[in-house]
């Protein structure tokens, strides 16, 4: 189950408060207001067990063995799509390599020198 019994108490307290405020606005006997508010709080306390169970069920993490077998099945089915994706990536990489060929011919020292001169030009302009 998710959480603790304190969630049940908080839910009951909130439900009691809301029921009390709603019933207080209707002019009836104070004992009836308290009785209805306590009944709503009790019902909410019991219903919170089911809500906590549902939250725990949704957030449940299966055993590692079951999870790994599920992942392995998914991986085997996704291998075909990965191959297609790799082919597309290789084609895109070849296209991008053609645009960077001009920088591969220059040495890093020459590129650094050009950057330094550009930075010093920018400092002189400002």
How far is it, in rounded angstroms, from Cα 27 to Cα 44? 24
pLDDT band at 22; cut points 50, 70, 90: very high
Q: Mean pLDDT over residues 71-87, rounded?
A: 66
Give residue 48's pLDDT: 94
Choose among 37, 41, 39: nearest CA to 9: 41
How far is it, in rounded angstroms, from Cα 115 to Cα 94? 27
CA angle centred on 80, ends 79 and 85, rounded to 5°: 90
Give residue 59's pLDDT: 85
């Amino acid at each position: 189950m998710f959480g603790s019994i304190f969630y049940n108490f908080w839910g009951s307290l909130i439900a009691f408060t809301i029921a009390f405020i709603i019933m207080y606005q209707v002019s009836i006997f104070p004992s009836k207001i308290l009785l209805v508010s306590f009944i709503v709080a009790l019902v909410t306390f019991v219903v919170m067990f089911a809500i906590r169970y549902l939250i725990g069920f949704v957030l449940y993490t299966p055993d590692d063995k079951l999870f790994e077998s599920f992942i392995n099945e998914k991986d085997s089915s996704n291998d075909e799509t990965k191959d297609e994706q790799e082919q597309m990536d290789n084609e895109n990489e070849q296209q991008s390599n053609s645009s960077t060929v001009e920088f591969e011919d220059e040495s890093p020292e020459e590129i650094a020198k050009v950057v330094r001169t550009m930075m010093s030009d920018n400092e002189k302009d400002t």
